[in-house]
Amino acid sequence: MILRSGDLAPAPRGFSLQFRRIALAIAGFSVLALGLVLVVVPVPGTSIVVIPLGLTILAKEFTWARSTLAWATRVMQALWFAVRQVFGIRLLPVPAR
């Protein structure tokens, strides 16, 4: 079967919708729990990637996860801006004259 750009899967209904919600919840909470475990285990930087990934999965179905992810994104952007201001980091190299 060849899929065209206009072909979309039908929206899930009934049992299929409940199965999708449960599967996303299990996957999201599992990834989030793994991220929290990685905070304790001395593996540098992995929880910074895994925790937002778990929140992103959960944000597909839960409003609280979506707002938590938006808050964390704002905090990280403000932190990155502050670090750039303190250390004078430029994102693009200055062209040589």
Please state the pTM of the whole predicted model.
0.68
- The 10s digit of each residue's pLDDT in 72-86 is 999 989 998 888 888
Q: Are 83 and 89 in contact (CB under 8 A)?
A: yes
Mean pLDDT of the chain: 82
Q: What share of the chain is helix, strand, coil (3-state, %, to 5)?
A: 65, 0, 35
Domains of the chain by residue range: 15-87
